[in-house]
Structure formats: C-alpha cells, structure tokens
C-alpha cells in the first residue's frame, strides 16, 4: 500500500505511468487488504465448540430421522460401496425405531435390488455385533480392511470367534 500511495506524491514530471490505471489498482488493493483484514478476525479469537451428551434428550424424545441414499448407475457407483453406505447408516447410534433408511435407485437395476437384500441380511448380524462390542467404525468395509482393528474393549476369544464369523458372512 505504501508503494502504491507513494506514486501519487511524486513530482508530476517524474510520473510516466498513466494515473487512472494506477488509481484503479490502488483501490482494488485497498479493497482486498480490507477483506483480508476482516478474514483474519476469525483467527484472532477462534470458536471452540464442545459437545454435551448429557444434555441430549431421552431416546423417546428424539425426532425421527430419514436417511436417503441415492444411486443411479451400478456400473459407475459400485453396489458394494452403496450398500456399505446403507449399512453404515443403519448402524448409527440412534433408536432403530426412529431411523429410516431409504435407497433411491434411478436406474432401477436388479443388481442394486439383490445387493440391498444381501445388505439387509448382513446388517441383521453387523449392527448387533457393532453395538455389542462398542465398535467405533460403522462401515463394515472400513472395519474389515483397516490395518488397525477397532476391537473396542474386547480382545477375548468370544470376540475373535464372532469377528471371524462376521468376516465369513
């Protein structure tokens, strides 16, 4: 800003550049500097948010939630990935009677229908398994493919046996 401003205080014989473009550039730099200054305000005093789970209402007072999962083409969106999303939505920590998961398939493909039936059969075992052992990961694909196992608090033989059974299903 000092450089642009010093241009106007030069002797008139030393000015070889037209004044109007220089003035437009100076005004635009002032506007951008002001915008940058305003943008820095959020960094001066950042907002920290905390979660208070004890303030959540009881399960019977929670609202019903509808989750819509849209898919169009099973060739572009693999059905396995879509079903992992469906199972993850079904495994949310929310009262099951208030959670509704819908799949919208614009292509109406048979592959998506068959995969939905298989995902529903798998979810009957996955969701209780996840809740029983307190697993953080809701997506079965991420859970079984990760190098770090999210085994919750259990490391016993019962957990390992059930985990192997889940891998087979």
How many alpha carbons lie under 13 Å from residue 135 in its C-beta half-sphere? 24
**Cα(15)–Cα(118) distance, rounded to whole angstroms?**
78
Would 131 be classed as within a structural domain? yes
**Cα(31)–Cα(122) distance, rounded to whole angstroms?**
58
Residues in the chain: 169
Structurally, the chain folds into a number of domains equal to 1
Would 59 be classed as within a structural domain? no
**Cα(63)–Cα(32) distance, rounded to whole angstroms?**
45
Query: Two tokens at 95?
Result: 């009262």
pLDDT tens digits, the chain, 169 residues: what are they?
777 777 777 766 666 777 788 889 889 999 999 999 988 877 887 788 898 988 888 888 889 999 999 998 888 888 888 999 999 999 888 888 999 999 998 877 888 889 989 999 998 888 888 888 888 888 888 888 876 555 555 667 788 888 888 887 7
Residue ranges for the known binding site for UDP-alpha-D-glucose are: 76-77, 106
Would 107 be classed as within a structural domain? yes
Would 71 be classed as within a structural domain? yes
Residue ranges for the known binding site are: 76-77, 106
SS3 87: helix
Would 6 be classed as within a structural domain? no
Would 14 be classed as within a structural domain? no
Would 124 be classed as within a structural domain? yes
Would 37 be classed as within a structural domain? no
pLDDT of res. 31: 95
CB neighbours (10 Å) of residue 19?
Answer: 11
Which residues form the domain of 110?
65-148+156-167
Owner of token pair 């019903």: 64
pLDDT of res. 33: 92
């Amino acid at each position: 800003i000092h450089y642009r401003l010093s241009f106007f205080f030069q002797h008139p014989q030393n000015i070889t550049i037209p004044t109007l473009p220089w003035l437009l550039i100076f005004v635009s730099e002032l506007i951008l500097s002001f915008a940058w200054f305003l943008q820095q305000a959020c960094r001066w005093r950042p907002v920290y948010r905390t979660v208070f789970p004890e303030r959540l209402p009881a399960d019977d007072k929670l609202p019903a939630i509808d989750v819509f999962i849209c898919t169009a083409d099973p060739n572009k969106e693999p059905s396995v990935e879509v079903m992992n999303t469906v199972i993850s939505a079904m495994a949310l920590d929310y009262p099951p009677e208030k959670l509704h998961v819908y799949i919208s398939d614009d292509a109406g493909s048979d592959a998506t229908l068959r995969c939905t039936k298989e995902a529903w059969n798998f979810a009957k075992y996955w969701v209780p398994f996840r809740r029983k052992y307190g697993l953080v990961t809701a997506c079965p694909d991420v859970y079984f493919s990760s190098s770090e196992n999210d085994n919750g608090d259990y490391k016993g033989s019962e957990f390992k046996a059930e985990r192997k059974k889940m891998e087979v299903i």
